[in-house]
Chain A
Amino acid sequence: MKPLLRIIRLLIRADRRAIAIGLLLSIVVLAMGAALLGLSGWFITASAAAGMAGLGTLFNFFAPSAMVRFLALGRTAARYGERLTTHDAVLRALGALRLRLLRGLLAQPYRATERLRAASVLNRVTADVDALDGALLRLVLPGLAGAAVIVLAAALVGWLVHPLVGAWVGAGYLLGPNLVFLAGQHRARRPSREAEAALQATRNRLVEMITAREDLTVYGQIPAARSRTLEAGARHGAARTRLDRIERRTGFALDLIGGGVTAGALGLGARLAEAGQITPAAAAISVFVALALAEAIAPIRRALTEIGRMAQAARRVEPALALPAAARSTTQLEPRPALHLEALGYAPRPGAPSLFAPLSATIAPGKTVALTGASGLGKSTVLLMAAGALTPSSGRVTLGGTDVATLAPETLHHTLVMVPQRHALIAGTIAENLRLAAPEASETELWQALEATCLADTIRARGGLEARLGPRGAGLSGGQARRLALARALLRRPAVLLLDEPTEGLDADTAARVLAGMRAALPEAAILIAAHRKVERDVATRMLQLRHSPA
């Protein structure tokens, strides 16, 4: 529960004023609803009493009937305002939560963010964030507003009608629903967690079965894959059934509480009225208010089935929200530092031997070095260590003499840029994708970068810089996306450029022209290429061979 409370605090902090107004209006709406029914009940009973006593003409009916109309109209207006303010506040909070998540993840170790590329992880993170969306609208605001109105109404009933009746209404509506909530949320937690996990499993297993369908068919694994998928689906169904039952029983208990409190108010009111301690009209107030307050406890039912899911989501999301405590050193770099790899080694697990023999090299400004070696040996790992994304298990990487591990990310990436194998494009225009790297770049500069990577003609044919790409850059071929990612790296004008198999998916001729164009655009940059093809080795001024560990 603690992570959920911390996230709720974060959501509230997104805009305290909007949430406070939303809460206030929620209270007003509920209070006016209770007042409207209570007043109407009193008005009718009092009118009837006056009418029967023949005192109809003496009865001041203008004030109460005007009040009834005012409450009816005011409640509607307050409801409109409440909906608008709470939705605005919630949208702000949702944006803030997602933003905080992105910031937090960006500060996490590289390996942790890398896992987000897996669809299953990504689905879980976004499903978790979505689950937290309901925390304010369905948990916090109705809970606080409901409790406030119950206390307020009970106090008023105690004052206007009789302390005993007020105590009954207040105690009944505060204690009962709270007990139901506590018992129910404890029970709902597990099935709600299981339902979510099973739903994710169903989705992942179905995706797997569909994409690998032919391979699984040849290997005779379809029946196994199918029953795994159906099993996850059935597990979800069973958990949902349990949740439905809990929700149903909660609803039943809440209905009984509403019925019980009203019945009590009716019995107590009638007895006090018979004894002459209160008027029948006063007794009517308590009965009608008790009826109206059922509205205040209704949201518990829905909240119960969601709170388990929210608590689980919060537990997983919260660690990712942590921001780094202190900035790293403020060391500045010379404009064109050389990149030094000093006896680098990398062990996949603590204590394991390094994947490759210690690697040392200097990549000077203006030079291109090709890193070669068998696939799987760790060329990408070397580049990631050079980019400061992974920590070497032995040796170190320095830029102009400064260990990259000690540099602030902004300083480091001002000088050094790495283009990984995968092209990280986003939904948006070509210009938006390019300007991720250089927000200030002019259109001319964007076109120059596209020319350097032989992509300008393609982009022009597609409608220029404002052409839109789908999610993850959908709409470009693999080779085009690759060149767009390379163009984006050029826009940062880095002094050190790390390229991981940069010409994958390009034909040899285009590959050669792209590599030449990039060198021409950055004549003084130190370039390290994890080379895979001959054309990449051909542009190098020097080869750097990655070798197996002697062990």
Chain B
Amino acid sequence: MARASTPQGHLTAPSRTGALLSLTAALVWPAQAALIAAVFAGLLSGAPTISPLIAAAGFFTLAALRAGLEAAAQRKLARAAEAVIATARHQIVQTESHAASSSSLGNAGALAALATDKLEALRPYLLRYRPARLRSMVMPLVILAIALWYGWAVAVVLLLAGPLIPLFMALVGWAAKEASARQMVEIGQLSDLLIDRLAALSDLRLIGAGPAAIEGFHAASESLRHRTMAVLRIAFLSSTVLELFSALGVAMVAVWVGFALLGEVGWGTWGTPLSPFGGMFLLLLAPEFFQPLRDLAAAWHDKAGAEAVLAELADYEAEDRPGLPGHDLPATGQPPAGPIAWRGLVARRGGVLIRYPDAVIAPGARIAITGPSGAGKTTLLRLLAGLDLPAEGTLHVGATALSEAHLPDWRAGLGWMPQAPHFLDRSLRQNIGFGRPLPETVLDQAQLGPVIAALPKGLNTVLGERGAGLSGGEARRVTLARALAAGQRVLLADEPTADLDPDTAAAVTAGLLDFAAAGGTLILATHDPALIARVDQVIALGPEEATP
């Protein structure tokens, strides 16, 4: 697998500039505070030094500077976040487009969730948490230093209110993490419950169970609410401690500053009494001591969510998944032609080796591969389609030994009817022809007329995954039409008539034989006697062919 730079690697460089800009924006505030303090000191002294107009203009300029820096920071951070997400998404799509095995992380739905909703969880983390963390590491120290310049009282208050910042931080983290984690789980459960009931709703109403199911949902959602609230009562209590400390801190600063200015207290400064400017300045700075910590706490659940996603991404990238044979190789436009032949062909399925009898299949022949289940019929078709590579031996088409490089050309003329076909959430027309023009004969040969007529928008009906509903027989005819539309030379079909009612089985058989009559090579894995009776050659696989 080609390893692009990891998302973790992306987390550093571009977003650091953004975080620094955000810190610079926060550092503008002391200047704004100083301006306000200077204005009031002037007013109190009775000899204003700054004219009201200049004060207002100055303050607004500083505010605009701060806002501009913050916007620039957000711009950098948003770009960095989008880059991280786009890279990770691209990598998942790329890997999934050619992986030969499924991921251990889960099914298609789980991977799609990872590539969409879960990656989106990185965005708030990159936009909010990381700059908040930088501010929380720098701003309290800056403000503490300013407070120490004026005296020790405010510094002590701040230190007491935020008792040894690391401890404080641990408390913040514990509180917020608990709240968000539990709450997210519970709300997620409500969504899962809703999905579960909605998916079953149409069928439940047929047994008259709709009202009972709704009643059950109501009870479940109420009990979920009670449990969530019990958790939140505790979780919010812990984060309230954070608010309490910061509110008390500011209040104590205000009271001390007030008393100091009144001359009621003489302690707390380095000898010189506190000036009105100093008092006002300290009061304006005190909330900013706590603000970065509160921002960080608010962004905490962004961090918890993002870390889970990053861990999952790391697991995903660590997986070693081989690619499907021949993926992303160019086609030359010259498909191999001639008889299909193999000698000494051996396939590996799980830990078992399957040895196939030698065979030569002339162009235009009708072949049935028979044998008990487990004998390797499907595996042989997969070898012929190039979905698996032989463990030993080689498939030849005419003079060409089919290697990975030939697979794109070989597949270009291949029709493929697997037992469990997958349809796309697109129109029936797209599902059959993949956007190529669809000859009328293909629809006739597959006897799709009645199926199309029964669909609300005919060929343009969009097939939902299960919703719009093709029955087993209808799906088989669509698969046949798809194979006929693509396969000019060879058609591979796995149990094309299994589990079908007699009418549909006859229709599918007729379609397949028409293909052979027009000169195509037909290779069927089947145990349907009616179908076996119509072929030119039978390749019988016995259970003895499979050896461990």
Contact = CB atoms under 8 A, between A and B. Distances in A.
Given A61-B264, A215-B418, A248-B78, A69 B255 contact: yes
B439 interface: no
18 contacts: A72-B247, A95-B190, A103-B214, A120-B425, A133-B187, A210-B112, A218-B385, A230-B93, A233-B93, A248-B74, A252-B71, A255-B70, A264-B56, A266-B52, A280-B44, A375-B474, A375-B501, A424-B204
Given A230-B90, A267-B56, A424-B201, 18 more contacts: A36-B251, A47-B279, A48-B279, A56-B264, A64-B258, A72-B250, A87-B232, A92-B225, A98-B190, A113-B201, A202-B112, A210-B107, A244-B127, A252-B68, A252-B71, A259-B64, A268-B52, A376-B450
Contacts of A65: 254-255, 258-259
Interface stretch (B216-224, B305-313, B336-344, B396-404): B216-224
Nearest to B421: A215
A348 B212 contact: no
Given A51-B262, A274-B43, A274-B52, A375 B472 contact: yes
In the A-B complex, the 8 residue pairs with the closest CB atoms = A259-B63, A413-B208, A267-B56, A118-B467, A118-B464, A375-B473, A424-B203, A255-B67
Given A40-B254, A210-B112, A95 B191 contact: no
B464 A349 contact: no
A121 B464 contact: yes
Interface stretch (A157-165, A186-194, A358-366, A432-440): A432-440
Contact of A121 (B75, B113, B328, B467): B467
Interface stretch (A73-81, A140-148, A456-464): A73-81
A472 B196 contact: yes
B200 A220 contact: no
Contacts of B512: none
A436 B201 CA distance: 12
Given A203-B113, A224-B434, A280-B44, A116 B423 contact: no
B98 A222 contact: yes
A255 B43 contact: no
Contacts of A422: 203, 466
Interface string B50-93: 10110111011011101110110011001100100110011011
Contacts of A223: 328
B465 A119 contact: yes
A376 B454 contact: yes
Contacts of A525: none
B243 A122 contact: no
A221 interface: yes
A274 B46 CA distance: 8
Nearest to B451: A376
Contacts of A79: 240, 243
A126 B194 contact: yes
A7 B384 CA distance: 57
B387 interface: yes
Contacts of B104: none
A249 B408 CA distance: 50
Interface residues of A, number: 158
A5 B182 CA distance: 30
Given A121-B464, A439-B212, A266 B96 contact: no
Contacts of A387: 206
B442 to A, nearest CB: 14
Interface stretch (B150-158, B360-368, B409-417): B409-417
Interface stretch (A234-242, A398-406, A515-523): A234-242
A538 interface: no
B233 interface: yes
Dominant SS at the B interface?
A: helix
B468 interface: yes
A47 B86 contact: no
B383 interface: no
A228 to B, nearest CB: 9
B2 interface: no
A299 interface: no
Contacts of A120: 425, 464-465
B178 interface: no
Interface string B91-110: 01110111100100001110
Given A126-B191, A212-B422, A213-B324, A418 B86 contact: no
Contact of B456 (A45, A349, A374): A349
Nearest to B90: A230
A219 B484 CA distance: 11
A271 B124 CA distance: 43
B115 A206 contact: yes
Contacts of A126: 191, 194-195, 198
B262 A56 contact: yes
Interface in A497-551: 532, 548
Contacts of A270: 39, 43, 48, 50, 52, 55-56
B387 A220 contact: no
B435 interface: yes
A489 B212 CA distance: 14
B327 A222 contact: yes
Contact of B111 (A210, A241, A274, A280): A210
Contacts of B254: 40, 43-44, 65, 68
B316 interface: no
Contacts of B48: 270, 274
A430 interface: no
B501 A374 contact: yes
A237 B83 CA distance: 9
Contact of B262 (A59, A71, A110, A472): A59
B371 to A, nearest CB: 21
B67 A95 contact: no
Given A215-B422, A437-B209, A376 B120 contact: no
B109 A251 contact: no
Nearest to B67: A255
A78 to B, nearest CB: 10
A47 B259 contact: yes
A84 B94 CA distance: 45
B455 interface: yes
B97 A102 contact: no
A69 B244 CA distance: 11
Nearest to A200: B116
A69 B416 CA distance: 78
A371 interface: no
Given A102-B201, A224-B434, A439-B212, A263 B262 contact: no
A129 interface: yes
B272 interface: no
Contacts of B190: 94-95, 98
Contacts of B67: 251-252, 255-256, 259
A217 B317 CA distance: 23
A346 to B, nearest CB: 9
Contacts of B215: 439
B97 A226 contact: yes
Given A52-B44, A113-B202, A212-B422, A206 B96 contact: yes
A91 B454 contact: no
Contacts of A68: 251, 254-255
Nearest to A417: B207
A492 B283 contact: no
Given A88-B229, A209-B96, A375-B474, A56 B263 contact: yes
B93 A226 contact: yes
Interface string B466-482: 11110111100100001
A269 B266 CA distance: 31
Nearest to A33: B247
B208 A417 contact: yes
B545 interface: no
Given A95-B222, A209-B96, A492 B208 contact: yes
Contact of B40 (A69, A241, A258, A280): A280
Contacts of B213: 102, 426, 436
Contacts of A69: 248, 251, 255
B390 interface: no
